Chain A
Amino acid sequence: MTTDFSKSVPATLKGDQDVRPELKRVISEALGGRKVSLSPDVLTQESRLVIERAPEPLDPYGNPISGRLRMEKPNIFVLKKAGNSCALYHEQSGEYYPLSGVKCAE
């Protein structure tokens, strides 16, 4: 049965669980297959997750390659809970991405 997330509420991750593989999977799917890295404490303190381009690689002088960047809106995800199900809500697209094997709390 498909969960209706339209009335879901913001949530955070619950308990001692490393759900990064699942989070990476759905975020990568939402971002067209791009590689994603997440820190261990992601979504444990707040429901909002800001995803942006990784820091620029260094040039041979040890400085970021460009160093003069145009502002680009990051992708924002919100962890949401509906009943016993959790999903990542992608702010830009308005899409919900159900999470498998993830426990979350309001």
Chain B
Amino acid sequence: MKSLRFSTLLVSAMALTLTACGGGGGGSTAVVPPTTGTGGGTGSSGPTYTAGTYVASSTFKNMCESPRAGTDDVAGSLLEEKHWLRSWSNETYLWYSELPDIDPASSQYPTAVDYFDVLKTSATTASGAPKDRFHFSRNTAEYQQQINSGASAGYGVRWRIIQSAPPRDIRVAYVEAGSPAETAGLARGDKVITIDGQDAVNGNTQAVVDALNGGLFPNDENEQHNFTVEKVGATDTTDITMTSGVVTSLAVHTTGVETLGNGDKVGYLLFNTFGTFPAEDQLYDAMTNLSNEGVKDLVLDLRYNGGGYLYISSQLGYMIAGPDATRNQTYEQLVYNDKIAPENPTPFYTTTYDDDFNPENPLPSLDLDTVYILSTGSTCSASESLLNGLRGIDVNVVLIGTTTCGKPYGFRGTDNCGTTYFTIQFRGENAKGFGDYADGFSPSEGGVTTGEAVDGCILSDDFTKELGDPSEALYNAALTHIQTGACPTTAAVKPDSWVSYSKPATLAEGSLLADPRIKNRMLLENSRIFTGPGQK
């Protein structure tokens, strides 16, 4: 094979429409909002609770214990904030009939977020995992922070936490070109031994955990931290000092073309996020180049792609399958609860997004009937939509790697009183009406015990090789499958521990995730926040 040609492109960012969904609730109990705020539920005035009866959430919207200046907030109470959560959940939650009906005045839940945290189903999936693993809230001001496209504070490194509890295994998944991490000499596969002198492998006090989080995930620019790393194949360690900056990340990180023995060309595309606006332009350029190269197959590396814009996911589906296979087909149908009217399905978009600078342009396409997707537990949401959407129109998807995250769900983050709440509101289904993959998609090699079986090979992420290197295990398995129709016979490597780690049965109580600094932090191309001692 010829050596791979790499190219790097540019990135960007995203946004989420803040839309309050749904209509009114089912009840008719009169609620008289108080004129002054009350406490956390024990006050003598305020709305009253009647089991099974729900007042429209609009009754309580923006009635806040601490109204924000310059917003729609008005003086209200914590009790009203909780009543809003109860009614809003009843109106919009996908499985609203499975919600517990808890008196908002209960003293068990001293904050609105505490109350929100229990407003979800307790059912489990076929694998025994919680049915709802995606129930979050974030500070609205942080969530709405604006950036120039693709930029975020950090080192320009994506960490991969293979083992979060001692003995920890923290690796570098990749670094961004021109970033502080690259300049400092950090490279894929490097294993972190110490951070600012603290033992990153075995350190097990809360102080050490805090120091590790602080070093891995700098809050701002110009934070300097010292790392000791063990490079791939090295017996000695290397000391590295990195200073955080505002780093521009790449959605399309790497592209390449490999020529097989029979002369056929295979395209490779490492695509790390659908969640940035310039990702569209980058995909347009990359797929145009691959089309011009005349590639016969595509290896799409989504192992670290946690999703983003469904629109761009649909565009990529079109660029893979082409006009004949996608014409008049549904890419994804969002299915809400029975109180919310269905929307028109998302089609396979065939043009670029129209904006004030760029008119709609027809997208290129490879017109493939088979695509090879490289996956891990971080292959999530819009990435899984792509997989499912293509299967819905009978494109053969070959999955190489480990089970995907299992997130067919979505939500419209909704602000109330300074907190944005995310509760599952819809499920995505493909053209065949399939969307039941809460346990993820799993390569079918050797039989599948969890997840939806997809033709493919089970392999662990290979940190010994650069991404895009044809000898890297997952890419190499795809090249083998393209040429032989089967998985490599030497692929007796077990999946890494990420699979089980990425699906904890429950979230640890009292973890650092409760730390506002961690909860509200921006995506720093990282994969996991540590939990404290004794937590999983």
Contacts and interface: CB of A to CB of B under 8 A. Distances in A.
Interface of A: 27-28, 31-40, 42, 48-76, 91-92
Given A27-B146, A50-B277, A62 B136 contact: no
B151 A75 contact: no
Given A57-B142, A65-B138, A67-B380, A51 B17 contact: no
Q: Interface size bucket, B side?
A: 35 or more
A72 B16 contact: yes
A61 B309 contact: no
Nearest to A59: B136
- Central interface residue in A36, A50, A72, by most chain B CB within 10 Å: A50
B307 A67 contact: yes
Given A34-B146, A39-B247, A74-B149, A60 B15 contact: no
Contact of A68 (B15, B277, B410): B410
Contacts, number: 208
A52 B511 CA distance: 31
B83 to A, nearest CB: 25
Interface string B494-515: 0000000011100100010100
A63 B171 CA distance: 17
B41 interface: no
Contacts of A60: 504, 507, 511, 513, 529
Contact of A58 (B149, B353, B529): B529
Interface on chain A toward B: helix, strand, loop, or mixed SS? loop
Given A54-B13, A57-B520, A66 B146 contact: no
Interface of B: 12-17, 70, 133-134, 136, 138, 141-149, 151-153, 161, 245-248, 273-278, 306-312, 353, 355-357, 377-378, 380-383, 385, 405, 407, 409-413, 422, 428, 502-504, 507, 511, 513, 519-523, 526-529
Contacts of A31: 146
Nearest to B356: A91
Among A34, A56, A60, A67, find the residue whose CB has the most chain B CB atoms closer than 10 A: A67
Contacts of A40: 245-246
B331 to A, nearest CB: 12
A66 B151 CA distance: 19
